[in-house]
């Protein structure tokens, strides 16, 4: 009896090994957690084929969603794509693994302007993936003249034709900018002024939206919308009447970067993957698909000239002199939340 059981056991093991592992050797895996619609999916499949590594790919909608999930533990991701302020916070909380750049030689293609940035001053933890700004997308057939300021969002002429971002940090940030302050302001008086301005603006706002903004602007539902630069590229491809600009008061300059969380089970595969994403051809395919600005010098060269020479999407340093990168607010996020709740409950 024991013998029969033993044979059955061995049989069961070999069958499951065959089913799971293909040819018996344990197949390598990689768990990636990225923003929704933020990679050319064929790139993932090519990576799987080239290195025989299975990629498990999940997506998130906000930095905070991602942070909560990683912080709570129990998830086994090997590669994450947080934004600047969130990277800083995760570094400070010891949640990220230092990268071994000897294993990521393609890092040399990343432009010098994207190294030693505030959130990772010694370039130890992150590799920039995409960058961009926040600006105004407007419909040329509905807006008169050439707008250049955040103030147009407070223009009564466009009542009920304005779409705001349903994001506390961004909406309060651009209001602070409109008033001439820093978008990381701590000053209660400045924040109070921003709150008043947002309350004053509320009757003019058609809706506070996030992802729906693209459909609405393309179909001409609204005249003006606050959008991230990559969304603007997408909308302009679909509707020629749309224009995009970074207001002269300055804006939010942001970076999303690739990192490896502490406790990653597949660090070697993760570094291989990061290096792969930094290959010129791959970086180009992603940049072309996503539409945001790429920090990869090789990819930028391959992209169409009319895109990379457009200062709205690839702004020059002087276009960004008033712009700032978000700083992690920590417990002050509560003040922002309070302002936002007061605005929304009007």
Partner 1 sequence: MKKTWPAYPYIFWMVIFTVVPLSLLLYFSLTTRTAAGATTFSWEHFGRFFEPIYLKVLFRSLLLAGISTLFCLVLGYPAAFILADRKLNHKNTLVLLMVLPMWMNFLLRTYAWLTLLERKGLINTLLGHIGLPPLNLLYNDFAVTLGMVYNFLPFMVLPIYSVLSKIDHSLIEAAEDLGADPTYTFRKVVFPLSLPGVVSGITMVFMPAVTTFVISRLLGGGQYTLIGNLIEQQFLTVGDWNFGSAISVVMMLIILVGMGFTSRYEKGQEGGGLW
Closest CA to 27 of 37, 35, 17: 17
Distances (CA, A) of 37 to 41, 77, 93, 289, 326: 9, 18, 28, 9, 23
Q: Extract the tokens encoding 236.
A: 């302009």
**Helix, coil or strand: residue 58:** strand
**In terms of CB distance, is 11 or 333 closer to partner 1?**
333
Q: Which is nearer to partner 1, 92 or 124 (CB)?
A: 92
For residues 203 and 159, give the distance between their C-alpha atoms in angstroms, rounded to a whole number.
7
Q: How far is CA 292 from the centre of its chain?
A: 9
Smallest separation (angstroms) from partner 1 to the CB of 87: 16
First to last CA, the chain: 77
Which is closer to partner 1, CB of 141 or CB of 341? Answer: 341
Q: How far is the CB of 335 from partner 1 (least distance, A)?
A: 10
**DSSP type of residue 296:** B
Q: Is 85 annotated as a binding residue?
A: yes
Q: What angle do CA 34, 37, 40 make, to 5 degrees?
A: 90
Query: Which chain residues interact with partner 1 by CB under 8 A?
Result: 62, 64-65, 67-68, 160, 166, 168, 202, 205-209, 212, 219-221, 333-334, 336-338, 340-342, 344-345
Residue 233 contacts residue 290 (beta carbons within 8 Å): no
Considering beta carbons, is residue 64 or 148 the nearer one to partner 1?
64
Helix 188-201 with 168-178: angle, nearest 10 deg:
100
Least distance in Å: CB of 162 to partner 1?
11
Q: Kindly state the smallest distance separating residue 107's Cβ from partner 1, in Å.
A: 32
Task: Report the residue number, 155 or 166, with the smaller CB distance to partner 1.
Answer: 166
Residue 46 or 335: the one with the smaller Cβ distance to partner 1 is: 335
Shortest reach from residue 266's CB to partner 1, in Å: 28
**CB of residue 195 vs partner 1: minimum separation in angstroms?**
11
Q: Where are the beta strands (DSSP E) in 86-156?
A: 127-139
Binding site for spermidine: which residues?
Answer: 85
Binding residues: 85
């Amino acid at each position: 009896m024991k013998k029969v059981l033993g044979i059955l056991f061995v049989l069961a093991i070999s069958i499951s090994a065959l089913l799971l592992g293909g040819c018996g050797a344990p197949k390598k895996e990689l768990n990636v957690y990225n923003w929704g619609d933020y990679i050319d999916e064929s790139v993932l499949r090519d990576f799987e084929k080239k290195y025989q590594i299975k990629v498990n790919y999940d997506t998130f909608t906000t930095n905070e969603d991602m942070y909560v999930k990683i912080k709570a533990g129990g998830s086994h991701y090997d590669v994450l794509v947080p934004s600047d302020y969130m990277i800083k916070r995760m570094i400070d909380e010891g949640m990220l693994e230092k990268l071994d750049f000897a294993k990521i030689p393609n890092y040399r293609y990343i432009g010098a302007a994207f190294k030693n940035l505030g959130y990772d001053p010694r370039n130890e933890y992150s590799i920039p993936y995409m960058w961009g700004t926040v600006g105004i997308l407007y419909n040329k057939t509905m807006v008169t003249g050439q707008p250049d300021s955040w103030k147009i969002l407070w223009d009564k002429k466009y009542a009920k034709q304005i779409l705001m971002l349903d994001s506390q940090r961004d909406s309060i940030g651009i209001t602070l900018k409109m008033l001439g302050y820093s978008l990381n302001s701590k000053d209660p008086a400045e924040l109070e002024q921003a709150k008043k301005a947002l309350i004053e603006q509320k009757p003019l706002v058609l809706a506070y939206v996030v992802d729906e903004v693209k459909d609405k602007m393309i179909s001409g539902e609204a005249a003006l919308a606050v959008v991230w630069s990559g969304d603007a590229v997408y909308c302009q491809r679909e509707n020629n009447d749309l224009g995009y600009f970074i207001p002269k008061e300055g804006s939010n300059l942001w970076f999303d970067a690739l990192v490896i969380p502490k406790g990653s089970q597949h660090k070697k595969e993760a570094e291989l993957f990061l290096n792969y994403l930094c290959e010129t051809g791959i970086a180009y395919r992603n940049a072309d698909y996503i539409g945001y600005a790429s920090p990869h010098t090789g990819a930028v060269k391959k992209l169409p000239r009319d895109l990379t020479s457009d200062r709205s999407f690839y702004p020059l340093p002087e276009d960004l002199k008033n712009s700032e990168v978000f700083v992690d607010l920590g417990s002050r996020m509560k003040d922002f939340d309070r302002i936002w709740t007061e605005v929304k409950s009007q």
